[in-house]
Amino acid sequence: MFVERPRSHVSALTPPREHFCDPAQFRRELEAIHFSMWLYAARADELPSVGSFVTRRFADAEVLLVRDEAGVLRAFHNVCRHRGTRLCHDEAGRVAGLIQCRYHAWTYRLDGRLEKAFHMEEVEGFRAEDFPLASVAVAEWGGFVFVCLSASPPPFAEHLAGLDVKFAAWQLDELVTVERRAYTLKANWKLVVANYHECLHCPVAHPQLNRLSHYLSGDNEPMQPTYMGARMELKPGVTTLSTSMSPPRSPLPGLNDEQRRHVYYYALLPNLLLNLHPDYGVAFRMNAAAVDRTEVVCEWLMHRDEVARPGFDASDAIDFWHQTNLQDWELSDLAQAGISSRGYRPGPYSNREDLLVAFDEWVLAKLVR
Ligand code: FES
Ligand SMILES: [Fe+2]
């Protein structure tokens, strides 16, 4: 069992080393959190037509997402029902009508039904209908496709917990992915989440960000059962986060004045981090690959009308966040390196790190349950 965080005259301390370094705790987190909750898997625009597929790794699971003949999104374990061979090898592509295993050519329809199983005719009692691809729950919101690897997925609406209403004005399904970059961090996934939810490091690590949005302008929402979030105010005269003094985009059409003055930072736990700016979005899809390794794919999302405009150029937003990402990932790696060393002792949180305290407690509560 996890050791409860020690208390002292300082009301809240960072967790003990095992929280970030113990493979057994990591396994428990996979079961209690990642494989029990809904995971962000793809943007719907990655699966535009019948036969489009992507494969996505979540720790030791791999999911195949495919659009079937009826246009319905399906998710399966990417594993052949014959002798377990990995089915689709590519990260993305399009299959023509059927999915065939490369080993002995068992063939599946896009809805997962087993169409042809060679050399099984003589096997007494064998029925193809008993061996469809193992399906995985799939749901969609705002152009984000989620999967849940639990045998009894919680209702998706419960997972969204009203964020669909809260962010309705951003019309997220109108946004298209204009850039996607992959990063591998030598850090536990919780350090990535924690780093995302405090900006005390901003003046030191992100001078370019702090120039546009003051690090103490943050406004946290209390921790929620499935998400945590905050927003930060843009400085007077600043319209968005960008490397350009005059970013070449209009604000998203549905936003009111207050929404145009802030950047929203939300984590839909456990693996989607979402930055909503007045004129674009950035989504981070995480895979908790190992106790000390997290794969992050960063996606830049812009309104389809902007993208259709002649001379459309997103490089100001891409450069801004790529630079910020590298700064954050380096800090996360350093945090993992320090915490995993023998000299680490839990340290005191400041009062402005209250969301991190709540997140530590959220993880512990999940593990106890
Ligand atoms: S393992 Fe796939 S057909 Fe044999
Ligand atoms: Fe940061």
The domains of the chain are located at 18-35+169-368, 38-153
Predicted confidence (pLDDT) at residue 7 exceeds the cutoff of 70? no
The residue nearest atom 3 of ligand 1, judged by CA position, is: 104
Predicted confidence (pLDDT) at residue 309 exceeds the cutoff of 50? yes
Summarised one tens digit per residue, pLDDT across range 327-340 is 999 999 999 999 99
DSSP state of 54: E
Summarised one tens digit per residue, pLDDT across range 136-194 is 999 999 999 999 999 999 999 999 999 999 999 999 999 999 999 999 999 999 999 99
- Residues 208-233: what's their mean pLDDT? 94
Predicted local confidence at residue 4, as pLDDT: 45
* Residue 147: strand pairing partners: 39, 138
Distance of alpha carbon 235 from alpha carbon 211, whole angstroms: 8
The residue nearest atom 4 of ligand 1, judged by CA position, is: 104
Q: Percent of the chain at pLDDT above 70?
A: 97
Nearest Cα to Cα of residue 253 among 279, 233, 274, 231: 279
Ligand 1: nearest atom to the Cα of 81? 2
- Residues 243-266: what's their mean pLDDT? 95
Summarised one tens digit per residue, pLDDT across range 107-146 is 999 999 999 999 999 999 999 999 999 999 999 999 999 9
- Residues 31-40: what's their mean pLDDT? 98
Distance of alpha carbon 271 from alpha carbon 212, whole angstroms: 27
Question: What's the pLDDT band for 1 if we cut at 50, 70, 90?
Answer: very low
From ligand 2's centre to the CA of 132, what distance in Å? 44
- Residues 54-60: what's their mean pLDDT? 98
Q: How does DSSP assign 254-322, residue by residue? A: T--HHHHTEEEEEEETTTEEEEE-SS-EEEEEEEEEETTEEEEEEEEEEEHHHHHSTT---HHHHHHHH
Question: What's the pLDDT band for 248 if we cut at 50, 70, 90?
Answer: confident
Residue 76: count other Cβ atoms within 10 Å of its Cβ: 26
Specify the CATH superfamily of domain 18-35+169-368.
Naphthalene 1,2-dioxygenase Alpha Subunit; Chain A, domain 1 (3.90.380.10)
DSSP state of 129: G
Predicted confidence (pLDDT) at residue 3 exceeds the cutoff of 70? no
Task: Look at phi and psi of residue 112 and say left if phi exceeds 0, alpha if psi is from -120 to 50, else beta.
Answer: left
From ligand 2's centre to the CA of 286, what distance in Å? 16
Predicted local confidence at residue 10, as pLDDT: 63
Predicted local confidence at residue 73, as pLDDT: 98
Distance of alpha carbon 63 from alpha carbon 73, whole angstroms: 12
- Residues 89-105: what's their mean pLDDT? 96
- Residues 9-22: what's their mean pLDDT? 90
Q: What is the pTM of this model?
A: 0.95
Collapse the DSSP code of 173 into the 3-class scheme (helix H, G, I; strand E, B; otherwise coil) and give the result: helix
Distance of alpha carbon 62 from alpha carbon 130, whole angstroms: 21
Ligand 1: nearest atom to the Cα of 104? 3
Which residue's entry shows tokens 């946290």? 220
From ligand 2's centre to the CA of 120, what distance in Å? 56
Q: Is the peptide bond before 132 cis (omega within 30 degrees of 0)?
A: no
Tokens of 174: 């109108």
- List ligand 1's pocket residues with C-beta within 6 A: 80, 82-83, 85, 101, 103-106
From ligand 2's centre to the CA of 38, what distance in Å? 25
Mean pLDDT (the chain, rounded): 95
Predicted local confidence at residue 219, as pLDDT: 84
CATH architecture of 38-153: 3-layer Sandwich (2.102)
Asked if residue 62 lies in contact with residue 118, where contact means CB atoms within 8 angstroms, the answer is no
Same fold, 18-35+169-368 and 38-153: no
